Amino acid sequence: GAVVSQHPSRVICKSGTSVKIECRSLDFQATTMFWYRQFPKQSLMLMATSNEGSKATYEQGVEKDKFLINHASLTLSTLTVTSAHPEDSSFYICSARRTSGGGNEQFFGPGTRLTVL
Amino acid sequence: KNQVEQSPQSLIILEGKNCTLQCNYTVSPFSNLRWYKQDTGRGPVSLTIMTFSENTKSNGRYTATLDADTKQSSLHITASQLSDSASYICVVTDSWGKLQFGAGTQVVVTP
């Protein structure tokens, strides 16, 4: 159990376009999901905390109007990178925390590689 | 300053040999410490989790230790295999559930 999926796994887009990444908890409900960004040879950096039915909480320095997060159900959160630029190219990873019975453990998705040309 | 420091940054070992990775942390108040394995282009996968009262935890050929007094942890890989080539990340959770990530140790196992 505790499987988290992401879609797409890879995406290449032109500068100025918007890209949506989905994060799903497949076999459990997740009131809280997290979005991370990882640059090459660096560790994961938390971008925002996504709470089902309410606004996301963004970390300092992360533009909420650029990285739109929607957590419309207990199994799905989406991250939309708006007006993408080459510097947004990165590996985006989501994680999900069980609504109940899982303590604080976060289960990570497989990641989405975004390349902005 | 990062509250979780890992060493070495990278290492290369021969297949079949053992190695030990280190993690020092300053996160407080402490809840638990996890070691994750992250293959290239994939998300992290949990190997072990230890709370304050646990000194050691094993998962197959992976053995983690924790000294909560000195705030140090290690991950020992026994009889390394080519599939062990990955980044190993130490993650400390504080009492409010916030995760602090180490930068990871890149392990390369060569034939």
Confidence of residue A53 (pLDDT cuts 50, 70, 90): confident
pLDDT of residue B1: 66
For an interface test with A, which of B45, B99, B107, B108 has the most A Cβ atoms less than 10 Å from its Cβ? Answer: B99
- Report the percent of chain B where pLDDT is more than 70: 99
| DSSP letter for each residue of A100-115 | SSSTT-EEE---EEEE
In the prediction, which pLDDT does A101 show? 64
Q: Is the pLDDT of residue A103 over 70?
A: no
Q: What is the mean pLDDT of chain A?
A: 92
Going by pLDDT thresholds of 50, 70 and 90, the confidence category of residue A99 is confident
Model pLDDT, residue B98: 86
DSSP letter string over B15-55? TT--EEEEEEE--SSEEEEEEEEE-TTS--EEEEEEETT--
- Per-residue pLDDT at A1: 66
pLDDT band at A42 (very low <50, low <70, confident <90, very high): confident
Burial of A1 (0-12, 13-18, 19+ CB in 10 A): exposed
Cβ distance of A91 and B41 shorter than 8 Å: yes
pLDDT tens-digit readout, B72-94: 999 999 999 999 999 999 999 99
Contact residues, chain B, for A43 at CB < 8 Å: 89, 101-104
Between B81 and A1, the more confident residue is B81
Q: Chain A: which residues have CB within 8 Å of chain B?
A: 4, 6, 41-46, 91, 93, 95, 97, 104-106, 108-111, 113
Q: Is A111's CB within 8 Å of B89's CB?
A: no
* Residue A72 confidence (pLDDT): 83
Hey, what are B68's tokens? Answer: 């909560």
**B41/A41 CB distance under 8 A:** no
Contact A68, A6 (CB under 8 A): no
pLDDT tops 60 at residue B24? yes
pLDDT surpassing 90 at residue A41: no
Inter-chain touch A42–B44, beta carbons under 8 Å: no
> pLDDT at position B103, please?
92
Q: How remote is the C-alpha of A78 from its chain's centroid?
A: 6
Q: How far is A103 from chain B (nearest CA, A)?
A: 9
Contacts of A109 in chain B (CB under 8 A): 43
